[in-house]
Chain A
Amino acid sequence: MLGRMNPLGGMTPFDGDHPLDQPVATMAARVRDKDDALTAVELVQASLMRMQMLDPGLGAFLCTTDELALAQAEAVDAKVAAGEDPGPLAGVPLAVKDNLAVPGAPLTCGSKILAGYTPPTWATSVERAVSAGACIVGKTNLDEFAMGSSTENSAFAPSRNPHDLDRVPGGSSGGSAAAVAAGMVPLALGSDTGGSIRQPASLCGIVGLKPTYGRVSRNGLVAFASSLDQVGPMARSADDARLLLAAIEGVDSHDATTQTFASVAADPSASLAGLRYGVVQEFALADVPGGEDAEAAVAGVRAVLDEAGATGVELSLPLVDASIPIYYIVAPAEASSNLARFDGVRYGHRTDGAQDLESLYAKTRDEGFGEEVKRRILIGTFALSAGYADAYYKKAMAARTRLREQFDAAFERCDLIVSATTPTAAFKIGEKSGDPLAMYLCDILTVAANLAGIPAISIPCGRDRAGLPLGLQLWGPPGSEGRLLDAAEQMASATGLGYEAPRASGGDA
């Protein structure tokens, strides 16, 4: 039984010295080294053991894929034994958000409507991680169809924040964030349509990166809003995230929007000295209730940056203020179209009460979809309906173009933008679940990156007054992930802020 305020105390095999708690490059290098006794199987077994111990209290995983993980680990070890290179993620346990396809494992998207569905093919991003040596240990919980900011919209159960079990881990990639934060896995894949990687990373005190639109294939990712969705890495450090991103990125013939961008490899000459960082007036949290702690955390980092020789540039991007309204037209409009495929004909749930084909669709969808998904389908259908499409959808898309232009102009004047990731730290389970609009506003600092198609990363940035993790977000122009990751690593060194294992705070540990 896990203690309420002491979720991991006394339970975790965390001692910092376990190979699973080392940097990903270190554990993979040891697995690849024939003379080192550490094997992929040992890493995977350690990960599975932690999942068994910790996950009943956290609910990060919807399913465990023990057999798959062990088979993959054995294949990695066999390659090492044969003198072959299993790849840069050799033996590294990886959690996969359950809106990405892994053949043989159920794919639920956190929804009842996909009951019983097992995909026949791999998501390209997952397959590439496996080709690089990663071992899939399980599928992680999410808000249904990735619509939400807390995982409370999962049709199964909410996940819990490892730093405080009464609080949400964020969402929609909340299961992946909780799994990494609790030390069950060193790496996880998430997806980010309006902040779904960065917001949970912030709330759980880890690193989460949303790549440039088109860097990572969306093939095998269940589509939410196709012009906004990106798959990305979640990890304990920027360098760990970099390794996973390098493995999964690149052109894919199954996703025509993929492109080749600049390498994400670390630039040894990168420095904070001379860095121009933008501070966007519209991201200020002075007027946001409860935003003081996040604002102070950003100010603290700015002071360190200035000390290191970086220069702050004040910027204004007026359309950032409209990014939530723009997003809540564009994303539901695309979702209403994408989710039309869930109709009870080809896979998943089918109603028992159909008299004809039309009622088969309508009843199946009413029974299978949860409240938030229905709400978004209705918003999107309305925004695209006759008489309203010009006023809403077309206008929102035009505004999106202007927003991208404002970012392009901003990056003429600075190398990257710094902001908080979320206005506040993790909220209590149930606190916002009755108020959809309040939940939508959780993404106020993240959606603009998706609308503009640019990369952004959330990194740990200390704690609020209640001791909960806060995140700092770095935004860059298209293709600048390498620069963002370099800056993230240097900021972590300069500030001393980074991932911390959930505290064993009580005396009962």
Chain B
Amino acid sequence: MDIDETLVRHVAKLARLELTDEEVAGIAPQLSRIFAHVDQVCRLEVEGADPATQAPVPMEGLRDDEPGELLEPRAILRNAPAHDGAFLVVPRFFDGAEGEA
């Protein structure tokens, strides 16, 4: 699998990573080399094998459907980069949007 800069930019966008041009140029050949190795996976013959995780959650592992301990809102807000005392604050969804959010 050859991974070029266009593909790296596409995947980075999916992953919400704003890479610099320098990072894109550096990562593309590294990923190509890594995928040349991991491409073996595509050639494995594993017909009929269950692709589900090997360890399904046992029913006895599930707790009763009851409210658990809750964290104080203050304990959450203390770690937030920006908040107004009650809510987390983030920029507008769209750049330059008119009017109040």
Contact = CB atoms under 8 A, between A and B. Distances in A.
B86 interface: no
Contacts of B63: 253, 256
Contact of A347 (B18, B54, B79): B79
B92 A356 contact: yes
B38 A377 contact: no
B53 A399 contact: no
B27 to A, nearest CB: 6
Given A256-B62, A345-B88, A356 B95 contact: yes
A28 interface: no
B41 A322 contact: yes
Given A121-B71, A259-B61, A452 B54 contact: yes
B13 to A, nearest CB: 8
A116 B51 contact: no
Interface stretch (A82-90, A125-133, A277-285, A358-366): A358-366
B23 to A, nearest CB: 7
Contact of A366 (B17, B75, B95): B17
Chain A CB count within 10 A is highest, among B40, B53, B62, B92, for: B53
Contacts of A213: 55
Contacts of A53: none
B79 A401 contact: no
B40 A358 contact: no
A353 to B, nearest CB: 9
A356 B49 contact: no
B11 to A, nearest CB: 5
Range for the number of chain A residues in contact with chain B: 35 or more
B79 A118 contact: yes
A448 B100 CA distance: 54
Contact of B42 (A346, A395, A400): A395
A365 B17 contact: yes
Given A324-B37, A346-B79, A354-B91, A378 B15 contact: yes
Contacts of B58: 259
Nearest to A367: B18
A381 interface: yes
A324 B3 CA distance: 19
B41 A256 contact: no
Contacts of B94: 356
A436 interface: yes
B15 A336 contact: yes
A402 interface: yes
Contacts of A361: 16
Nearest to B16: A361
Interface in A291-327: 319, 322, 324-326
Given A356-B91, A366-B18, A401-B50, A437 B75 contact: no
Contacts of B81: 344-345, 347-350
Chain B CB count within 10 A is highest, among A116, A346, A382, A399, for: A382
Given A256-B57, A437-B34, A366 B20 contact: yes
A171 interface: no
Interface in A217-268: 227, 251, 253, 256-259
Given A365-B18, A392-B42, A378 B27 contact: yes
Given A346-B80, A356-B91, A385 B51 contact: no
Contacts of B37: 324-325, 328, 437, 440
Contacts of A328: 34, 37-38
B38 A401 contact: no
A59 to B, nearest CB: 26
27 contacts: A120-B75, A120-B76, A120-B79, A319-B44, A325-B40, A345-B80, A347-B81, A356-B92, A360-B91, A366-B20, A369-B17, A374-B19, A374-B23, A374-B27, A377-B15, A392-B38, A392-B41, A395-B42, A395-B44, A398-B49, A398-B50, A402-B46, A404-B54, A437-B33, A440-B37, A452-B54, A453-B55
Interface of B: 3, 7-8, 11-12, 14-20, 23, 27, 30-31, 33-35, 37-42, 44, 46, 49-55, 57-58, 61-63, 68, 71-72, 75-76, 78-82, 88, 90-96
Given A253-B68, A322-B44, A344-B81, 7 more contacts: A120-B79, A227-B55, A355-B91, A392-B42, A402-B46, A405-B49, A436-B34
